Structure 1
């Protein structure tokens, strides 16, 4: 039988992610909750909890060094990857978990309550209809859609300070070609996730400042 606590601790060590005892307990409690609800709600195709540690917990932890700022949106959050994991690791930041599937947001709400995550807000809505009133510091997606759709569907939730974090498998060459002209790749990282055999990449995007707006008053 796999010792999930040891697997998590060793994986975090390999990722160079400091993990407190409380954070480890919360992550393992989330794993238990995900496994329990998955049997009825089909939150993830992964059924083996040991595989969930690598493919969900450690995969989400791998992007933690790139999560700056205080307000984050996890769009198409599903079972809470990476939003719940990031919220556990960044109690100082606020995370909005958005999904249009009512069953998934019911699970996310239960996870928020049971894990006592005061920094989490769960929203059951289509992203196009979500109007929070201000831009997020960061927007993250994990297999939500193509990168062009990811950017366009969340454009109204961003400004030039917002960073989009797109979690991908293989490097998305074709998707990058389809990005809007006013969006650039700020950074690209190939990630090595302990226990995951497949390729993992993180693309960090931002909106460009329009030239005519960059120097007001000139001319």
Structure 2
């Protein structure tokens, strides 16, 4: 990176705490650090992330993305509002068999995403468009701090079928958003424990439902 190397030990310890040692071996961990180095390089002239401290980037970008790995299903994933590639790029690095579509309407961010794909040789592509315009079939949909649950489903609900899932990352338990979930969707909310992160994290797992809107803790 620009002045220091990223502390690889923080990543290794975090993955151990998440019980992902076998799923993310040493060679993949190095590729994850290469991604952060590229992100830091681009961040010098393009505002992609406000997180700049090295250990914080490992925790808040890599571990906060990889905590979703056990919940990802299938082999095709769409990462909506991907921004700097989170959580899509860490998931693509950890799962080379997973084809990831990184979706962002911002031109600068889309250019970075394409550069990351080319540099890291990812099994991924960039969709430089608004979520509403995305078409395709995906096994898993991810969104990290994109919008409220009702807004996310209003924009991207057409992507959700009875055969796939949506993993929406949230901070605190989103009571009000769950209460406003549109009819036709079912949601289950699970706490996420990100090593080194002293903040609440949850994943809302959304599916199509035939019985109207409902949610469970």
Report the TM-score when normalising by structure 1: 0.90
Report SS of the residue matched to 1:41. coil
Matched, 1:8 2:8: no
How far did 1:162 drift? 1.7
Please name the residue that 2:141 is paired with.
139
Shift of residue 210 of structure 1?
Answer: 6.4
Q: Using the alignment, how far apart are the partners of 1:144 and 1:60 within structure 2?
A: 14
Matched, 1:35 2:40: yes
Structure 1 residue 188 displacement after superposition: 1.9
Give every structure 1 segment of 4 or more consecutive aligned residues whose post-TM-superposition deviation is greater than 2 Å: none
Aligned residue in 1 for 2:87: 82
Aligned residue in 2 for 1:189: 190
For the Cα contact (< 8 Å) 2:102–2:125, is it kept in 1?
yes
Alignment of 1:11-160 (within 5 A): 11-18=14-21, 19-117=24-122, 119-132=123-136, 135-160=137-162
Distance 1:3 1:99, change over 3 A: closer
Kindly provide the CA deviation profile for residues 176-203 of structure 1, in whole angstroms up to 9, marking residues without a partner as x.
Answer: 0111111011x32111111111101111
- Stretches of structure 1 lacking an aligned partner (at least 5 in a row): 212-219
8 A Cα contact 2:6 2:33, kept in partner = no
Aligned 8 A contact 1:160 1:209 in 2: no
The 3 A distance-change label for structure 1 pair 75 and 190 is: same
TM-score normalised per structure 2: 0.91
- How large is the RMSD of aligned CA atoms in angstroms? 1.5
- Mapped to 2, the partners of 1:167 and 1:159 lie a distance apart of 19
| Further displaced range: 56-65 or 14-23 | 14-23
Deviation at 1:15, TM superposition (A): 0.7
* Contact persistence 2:100–2:124 (CA under 8 A): yes
- The CA distance in 1 between the partners of 2:133 and 2:64, in whole Å, is 29
Structure index of larger Rg: 1
Deviation at residue 158 of structure 1 after TM alignment:
2.2
SS in 2 for 1:87: helix
Which digits, 9 at most, give the CA deviation of each residue in 1:15-42, with x for residues without a partner? Answer: 1112212211110000101111112111
Shift in Å, 1:3: 5.4
- What SS is found at the alignment partner of 1:196? coil
Structure 1 residue 209 displacement after superposition: 3.2
SS in 2 for 1:40: coil
